[in-house]
């Protein structure tokens, strides 16, 4: 995989106290930034037919899922992100992936656009994948992105998402609001996770049919999860970076405390949904 350490990360000009949580973790060397970890992404992709398909990825981040998509030999790949630094990372990754594969290049690109307004043609793709980005949106923002996915997909096309969820489905509204406020303070993002029933209702209200859903614990900062996701070398790199900067250490410990407080209510959740056949 391409070494993205040579490229600046998003929000690289911010101090640790004001970094959004996922880019803070990226700064210390964490590469898997999804709520349900690498395992839930792999399960989601196992239910997503990519080979030979035109694929669009919303908010590809550091490109781990991008690499997995390209490994499955899609017909084409198109990334969409509103951060120019992410666009640079994905552009380099797709180029190097092609050079290293020894196969004819897959048409691949990444453009600087918002997922709610991609500029792509209607009915132009077979598969859309987006992870850990709808959670960060307001209710209106979520719906705008989901509607854009529906517009872009051909009939029978699929939309796969991996997001932060709440549980159980009958969780009291006051607890939901408490969690959202705690996350905003901790990760510096107005995250608005939903229960499984709420995610399903939102997707179905946009016209999608649910094909599959799955969950994995939200264990983003747990040692066992990090060893599984990052490997021993990656965990040692992360620990060295955390221990070496007191401001970063304070933020990470605060985030971990928040996640631990709501361990029973937070979960990683994924869906694969389909645009109905015409």
CA atoms within 13 A on the CB side of 208: 29
- Considering the entire predicted model, what is its pTM? 0.94
Domains detected in the chain: 4-274 (3.40.50.150)
Q: What is the pLDDT of residue 276?
A: 97
pLDDT over threshold 70, residue 57: yes
Band of residue 6 on the pLDDT scale cut at 50, 70, 90: low
User: Over the stretch 180-207, which tens digit does the pLDDT of each residue have?
Assistant: 999 999 999 999 999 999 999 999 999 9
Largest Cα–Cα separation, the chain:
57
Average the pLDDT over each of 14-18, 33-37, 164-168, 201-205 and give the range with the smallest value: 14-18
pLDDT at 105: 79
% of the chain beyond a pLDDT of 70: 95
Q: How confident is the model at residue 9 (pLDDT cuts 50, 70, 90)?
A: confident
Compute the distance between CA of residue 49 and CA of residue 121 in angstroms, rounded to an integer. 21
At 2 the pLDDT is: 39
Note the pLDDT of residue 3. Answer: 46
Which residue intervals of 153-222 are DSSP H helices? 173-187, 196-205
CA distance 111 to 118: 9
pLDDT at 11: 85
């Amino acid at each position: 995989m391409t070494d993205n350490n040579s490229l600046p990360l998003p929000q690289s000009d911010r101090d640790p106290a004001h970094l959004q949580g996922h880019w803070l973790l990226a700064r210390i060397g964490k590469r898997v930034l999804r709520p349900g970890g690498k395992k839930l992404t792999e399960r989601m992709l196992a239910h997503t037919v990519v080979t030979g398909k035109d694929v669009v990825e919303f908010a590809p981040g550091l490109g781990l899922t991008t690499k997995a998509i390209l490994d499955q030999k899609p017909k084409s790949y198109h990334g969409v992100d509103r951060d120019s630094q992410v666009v640079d990372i994905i552009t380099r990754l797709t180029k190097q992936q092609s050079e290293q594969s020894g196969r004819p290049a897959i048409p691949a690109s990444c453009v600087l656009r918002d997922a709610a307004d991609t500029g792509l043609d209607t009915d132009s793709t077979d598969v859309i994948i987006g992870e850990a980005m709808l959670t960060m949106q307001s209710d209106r923002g979520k719906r705008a992105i989901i509607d854009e996915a529906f517009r872009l997909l051909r009939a029978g096309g699929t939309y796969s998402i991996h997001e932060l969820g709440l549980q159980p489905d009958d969780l009291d509204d006051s607890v939901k609001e408490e969690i959202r406020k705690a996350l905003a303070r901790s990760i510096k993002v107005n995250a608005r996770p939903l229960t499984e029933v709420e995610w399903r209702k939102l997707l179905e209200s946009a016209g999608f049919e649910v094909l599959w859903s799955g969950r994995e614990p939200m264990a983003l900062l747990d040692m066992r999860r990090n060893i599984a996701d990052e490997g021993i070398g990656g965990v040692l790199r992360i620990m060295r970076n955390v221990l070496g900067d007191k401001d970063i250490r304070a933020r990470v410990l605060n985030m971990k405390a928040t996640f631990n407080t709501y361990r029973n209510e937070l979960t990683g959740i994924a869906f694969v949904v389909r645009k109905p056949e015409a």
